[in-house]
Amino acid sequence: MACEWYAANTARVLSPQKLSCGNMLFFNKSNTLQYIPLGVVGIISPWNFPFTIPFSEVIMALMAGNGVVLKVATATTHVGRFIEECISAGGFPPGLFVHVVMNGSDVGPAMLKAGVDKLFFTGSVQVGKQLMAAAAETLTPVSLELGGNDPMIVLADASIERAVNCALWAGFQNAGQACASVERIYVHESIHDEFLAELAAKTRALRHGPDVNFNVDIGAVTTEAQLRTIKEHVEDAVSRGARIVAQSTPTGDVTSGNFYPATVLTGVTADMLVMREETFGPVLPVVPFSTEEEAIAMANDCRFALTSSVFSRNRTNAWRVATKLESGVVSINDHLYEHGMSEVPWGGWKNSGIGRTHGELGLKEMCHVRCINDDCLPSGFIHRNLWWFPQSRELYDTLLHAVSVAAPRGVTHAMANFFSLMKRAGVMLRPWRHHIPTREGKSKIL
């Protein structure tokens, strides 16, 4: 579907764009934006969605006219080779797409040293900052998607059943290993207990363990290092007063893999790791709030700002809260689906990164922008602009009145300056005096 959207829309999105003139002094000017391929784009992708994240960026880069160097995560090199096969099957010229396999810590500096024209990175904040610092040496532009600690706000008038079901999906799918997973839930105090009870009951009904013919809901965490982070965050919360309300049910042998149960926490505070950092695991802390302002403040009190969501039966209420949330994407009565919408720009604020992928903005991130300015009238018709040399007091006064007409302080002010400007029409016509057309279509030289 992503390929279909880009195939259908890239030519339109990246076609030359005319800009209107907003200043009467430049009435004779036309402006055209052009989108020019960057050249060679470097893409470094993570292990949590090893196909969809890099493949969409590769397609955007190629459709915009660039060459691509791709490095997937070390743990998912087979997926990188599969992407290579897909691109090869598309009939692209040899060498336009290159998949490299090398150490993760070496690839960014190597791409920058080789002279890629832009670097797209999805991963940790720490590595993103290192790459940005390295890119600064050559002023190579970067686009960074660096994760999140995404909040869900459940207002008093929300559908509790839908909010709970969405929290289960958005918090626990892929074992919570998604940049846009729900990692903090704020529930209005009037429905908090009911919400928590239903969330706990449905969490206990989930199954985690090794999959045998779709007999589990939650699989393993991808790496041992990530499993350690999840355990550290939960242990930190419990040691400081939080309580585990519910966990999913183990199925099969969960001792021989990186399995962690879906976990619901309560009694958490804003200073705990699970609330401050990206856990990237199947953990949902639930916090009550009393007012919208309190919920918004708690949701925004985070160094990440990738996605967020608001649940309410009243669209006006939901929009009121949504417009005050600090995040690149806000969903109403839903969460964790936007990355699959090719037309929707993807990216965040704060430590969640800079730049956008997907949609029109994503395509334009793959391009240089060039603006071509031209005259509407034929070349040579006006021999010089009004403000060119030689300078004079008369010219200064004329320009001052022209600016006052273009940006007046009121109707009376505008009219007064307009009549003053008309008295100086001779000054304004000087650039034309050597080339004034007659009724016969010829030029009269003055």
If you average pLDDT over residues 40-57, what whole number do you get? 96
CB 182, CB 150: distance < 8 Å: yes
Out of 104-108, 128-132, 269-273, least confident range: 104-108
Q: pTM score, two decimals?
A: 0.90
What's the pLDDT tens digit per position in 80-109? Answer: 999 999 999 999 999 999 999 999 889 999
Non-local CB neighbours of 238 within 8 Å, separated by 6+ positions: 244, 265
CB 358, CB 337: distance < 8 Å: no
What's the pLDDT tens digit per position in 107-120? Answer: 999 999 999 999 99
Concerning whether 371 is annotated as a catalytic residue, the answer is no
Separation in Å, CA 189 to CA 153, 156, 199, 290, 364: 12, 8, 15, 6, 44
What's the pLDDT tens digit per position in 361-401? Answer: 999 999 999 999 998 888 777 788 878 888 888 888 887 87
CB 189, CB 355: distance < 8 Å: no
What's the pLDDT tens digit per position in 167-193? Answer: 999 999 999 999 999 999 999 999 999
**What was the pLDDT predicted at 6?**
94
Concerning whether 145 is annotated as a catalytic residue, the answer is yes
Kindly name the residue from 145, 183, 198, 278 that is annotated as catalytic. Answer: 145
Instruction: State the chain's mean pLDDT as an integer.
Output: 92
Kindly name the residue from 57, 166, 179, 183 that is annotated as catalytic. Answer: 179
Q: Is the pLDDT of residue 232 over 60?
A: yes
Structure tokens at 310: 């608001």
